[in-house]
Structure 1
Amino acid sequence: MEDISYNELNVILAERRPVTVVFVYTPLCGTCKVAKDMISIVQATHESLPIFSVNINHSPSFAQNWKIKSVPCLLIFQKGLGVERVYAFQSIGFIHHVLKPYAAAVALDQEK
Structure 2
Amino acid sequence: MEEITKEELIELFENREVHFIYLYTPLCGTCQMASKMLEVTETILSIKIYKKDLNYIPEHAMNWGVQSVPALIILKEQKIIEKVFAFGSVENIISIINEHQNS
Aligned residues: 103
8 A Cα contact 1:5 1:58, kept in partner: no
Structure with larger Rg: 1
**One-letter code aligned to 2:63:** N
**What is the TM-score of this pair, normalised by structure 2?**
0.91
Task: Determine the structure 1 residue equivalent to 2:23.
Answer: 24
Task: Determine the structure 1 residue equivalent to 2:92.
Answer: 94
* Structure 1 ranges of 4+ moved more than 6 A: none
8 A Cα contact 1:20 1:78, kept in partner: yes
8 A Cα contact 1:5 1:59, kept in partner: no
Deviation at 1:45, TM superposition (A): 1.4
Q: Does 1:8 pair with 2:21?
A: no
**One-letter code aligned to 1:74:** L
Distance in 2 of aligned mates of 1:79 and 1:50: 17
Q: Does 1:57 pair with 2:48?
A: no
Unpaired stretches in structure 1, ≥5 consecutive residues: 106-112
**What is the TM-score of this pair, normalised by structure 1?**
0.85
